[in-house]
Amino acid sequence: MAAADQDTLRKLPSVDEVLRDLAGLRCPHPLLVSLVRRQIDAAREKLRATGAAGDIRQAVAEAVAALRAPSLKRVINATGVVLHTNLGRAPLPGFSPIYGYSNLEYGLDTGRRGRRDTHVSSLLEHLTGKPGIAVNNNAAATYLVLNELAPGGEVIVSRGELIEIGDGFRIPDIMARSGAVLREVGTTNRTGIADYRNAISERTRLIMRVHPSNFHISGFTGKPELAELAALAREYRIPLYEDLGSGCVADLRPFGITEPLVAASLEAGVNVVSFSGDKLLGGPQAGLICGDKDRIERIRRNPMFRAMRLDKLITQALEVTLRHLLFEEWEAIPALRMIRTSAAELQGRAQRLAQRIPGAEVMEGASVVGGGSTPDQKLPSWVVAIPGSAVRIEAALRGGDPPVIARIENDRLLLDLRCVPEWEEEDLLAAIKRAT
């Protein structure tokens, strides 16, 4: 580097100089020192690369402001995807977190230590007809069931059900980590009861059924009915476990969504089922395990249960959700309310919104449940098409406050109001006006 360049580098302010200039900035001194040093180092690299260092003091002030601003924030979901994985899946039912202490693990009737899962276990039993417990997600639930019921033994699974549940998590990998040994049967598209029967040996500890909630195979396919598989399991005194994934408790067939019900699986003779809390259940992220009392107790006593248990906030959110489900208060659960919203209601809302946006057009469209649930099943909807550059407006909406997440189809920006509650419409309209 030339001597002149070295001289330029030496002209960068010292840490003490920047600190004096920023004396009025509200920030703990150790953190401010760290940020100043980081920005001086960044300016030095930028100076070497481009010949311009930039405003170090402004960069530090912006870094402090960025640290003060919450990273997790409310967004308006105008995509029409109800269980949007990137937006937190099921929006939570309204509840007020308990401030201060709570009876999380305290029996108010006995004055002694209690179990934290009692707050949800009785509700689960009323909903499904079987005892239940909860852990932090369905992958954890799957691991826990396998680790307790089949360590070192074989678990029979159809090849067509060896699915990937998202972000690289695959059933065979979870099974291997649990200590169970995978015994594949059948083919990708067809597995018969004889395939399961022929695979049973003295090493078999579990028969596992996995509901393919995030994909659909059609055509020349076949698999045993649950009752048939349950009868085989009873014949050989082997427990039958079903990973239901999406966890549908309410019957959504009248609204165009066909998913197996948890209670139906248990009634068919499945010994243990697991499913997610933040999909079609409509609650927080959780993994719920229901089934035979003795097996649920065994799973609860597994040492890994404590590592995977719910904290007090999720426990409260899950309790609120389960109670709404038990009393069939569907409108109180946002995800179920959105799924149950009719196309006619959405058309009326879309038309009223479009009337307030110059050049907007109302079109027939379709929403989806999403979140790894109900593949190939769509919900009739109506959308508002916004005139102008779709890419530019989408970016402006996404960068607003609150951010609005929309979708682009055929070079047009579309707003689907299925996932936008009416109380958010004014915020949505203001965001559109700013972005256009």
Q: How far apart are the first and last CA of the chain?
A: 48
Per residue in 62-91, pLDDT (tens digit) is 999 999 999 999 999 999 999 999 999 999
Q: What angle do CA 370, 418, 390 make, to 5 degrees?
A: 85
Per residue in 411-429, pLDDT (tens digit) is 999 999 999 999 999 999 9
> Has this prediction a pTM greater than 0.85?
yes
CA 243, chain centre distance (Å): 16
**The predicted structure's pLDDT at residue 318:** 97
How would you classify the pairing of strands 272-276 and 287-291?
Answer: antiparallel
The type of residue at 385 is A
CB 233 within 8 A of CB 240: yes
Q: Name the token pair of 83.
A: 């269980």
Task: Please tell me the distance from the alpha carbon of residue 241 to that of residue 196, in angstroms, as a whole number.
Answer: 14
**The predicted structure's pLDDT at residue 164:** 75
**The predicted structure's pLDDT at residue 174:** 87
Task: Please tell me the distance from the alpha carbon of residue 233 to that of residue 227, in angstroms, as a whole number.
Answer: 10
Domain boundaries of the chain, sorted by first residue: 3-67, 76-88+335-435, 106-332
Below-50 pLDDT ranges, the chain:
1-4
Is 76-88+335-435 assigned to CATH 3.90.1150.110? Answer: yes
Task: Please tell me the distance from the alpha carbon of residue 282 to that of residue 325, in angstroms, as a whole number.
Answer: 9
Considering only the top CATH level, what class is 106-332?
alpha beta
**The predicted structure's pLDDT at residue 219:** 61
**The predicted structure's pLDDT at residue 2:** 44
Helix (H/G/I), strand (E/B), else coil: 404: strand
**The predicted structure's pLDDT at residue 218:** 60
**The predicted structure's pLDDT at residue 407:** 95
How would you classify the pairing of strands 404-405 and 76-77?
Answer: parallel
